[in-house]
Amino acid sequence: MEDQAARLRQLIEDRTGYIPLAECEKIEETDESKKSSARIIAVTSGKGGVGKTNFAVNLAIALSKAGKRVILIDADLGMANVDVMLGTVSKYNLSNLCQDEVSLHDVLLRGPYGVNYISGGSGIEHAADFSVPERQRLMQKLVQCEDLADIILIDTGAGIGKNVLDFILAADEVILLTTPEPTSLTDAYAVMKAYSIYAPNKNMKLVVNRVYDELDSRDVVAKLRRTSERFLKMTVECLGYIYEDRSVMNAVRKQVPFLISYPDAAAAKCIMAIANNLLYGGQVKIKRGWKVFLQHFLDFSR
Ligand SMILES: Nc1ncnc2c1ncn2[C@@H]1O[C@H](COP(=O)(O)OP(=O)(O)O)[C@@H](O)[C@H]1O
Ligand SMILES: [Mg+2]
């Protein structure tokens, strides 16, 4: 059994070029990267299955193509599937960091297509469940991510459960993904509401997924924006939209992200536009930094 698992892992490693960072050369630390702290962006949604993981994985690739050092953290605990989309198998995940003998370099993987990522896993659903020494260990190790990344992208779970809120409230920026479906919109609004109440510095942007034309997206954004301004006194910007596109499903089946397998597809072009918007579109608001993110997430007073 063990033998079979090892062979399977080897097969996948050969196919995707997956290598634990510990076994590769260190990622370059440029002077530029040392000057400013990483941007911490959480990708979330009200309802599950709206396309968060596809979005996060392909956005990470787009940002990395633009020359940014990206670390993607799979924090959709329980439904962790960044590995599945990248076609990789990870030996360690986020929760293994609590173990003394596991280092950040063991869990930080150099995935295919230039994306460095930390695989998700169960066991870290509630940071509050960790003992103080475990939290300290996590903190000490995760804090090192900041020196290795310009952007830390976090794929969270859906909804307003404590485990998701922990992540989105601690991030500098939140991308809220929705589809034009009424159920997706209502659930997106619930996230906006929770965020507007608890977030210390509000910075939420919308992405509308699975639209048939641009008008769909404009309608959705106008509705959410109006409601948010009126009832939550919060302004939300739109970062872009992604077309309904069969290549997304085909790419998932192939386990090769659509930005790579179908670079000319409509969905891939939309992701490139969103990455561009994220990098050059507007002013980046306050960056509190990765350390503050971790302190908030692991909240030592709990
Ligand atoms: N733009 C799109 N066009 C077509 N299908 C999509 C699109 N975005 C997502 N999907 C479909 O939705 C499924 C769920 O996406 P996923 O990224 O796993 O959602 P989540 O992470 O929010 O649960 C995908 O496997 C894909 O089949
Ligand atoms: Mg997901």
Lowest mean pLDDT segment, chosen from 156-170, 220-234, 255-269, 282-296? 282-296
Distance separating alpha carbons of residues 117 and 294, to the nearest angstrom: 17
Other beta carbons within 10 angstroms of residue 6's beta carbon come to: 10
Q: Is residue 122's pLDDT more than 90?
A: no
Can you give the pLDDT at residue 220?
94
CATH class of the 33-298 domain in this structure: alpha beta
Q: Is residue 40's pLDDT more than 50?
A: yes
Nearest Cα to Cα of residue 172 among 287, 282, 69: 287
Q: Which of 55, 248, 258 is the best mutation target for the ligand 1 pocket, counting ligand atoms within 8 Å of the beta carbon and taking the most?
A: 248
Give the strand pairing for 116-118 and 19-20: unpaired
Q: Is residue 190's pLDDT more than 70?
A: yes
CA of 49 to the centre of ligand 2 (A): 7
Confidence of residue 139 (pLDDT cuts 50, 70, 90): confident
Segment 265-294, tens digit of pLDDT: 999 999 999 999 999 985 445 566 677 778
Instruction: Give the predicted TM-score (pTM) of the model.
Output: 0.83
Give the binding-site residues of ligand 1, using a 6 Å CB cut-off: 45, 48-54, 209-210, 242, 244-245, 248-249, 252, 267
Distance separating alpha carbons of residues 288 and 260, to the nearest angstrom: 33
Q: What is the pLDDT averaged over residues 231-246?
A: 95
Angle between helices 266-276 and 52-65 (to 10 degrees): 60
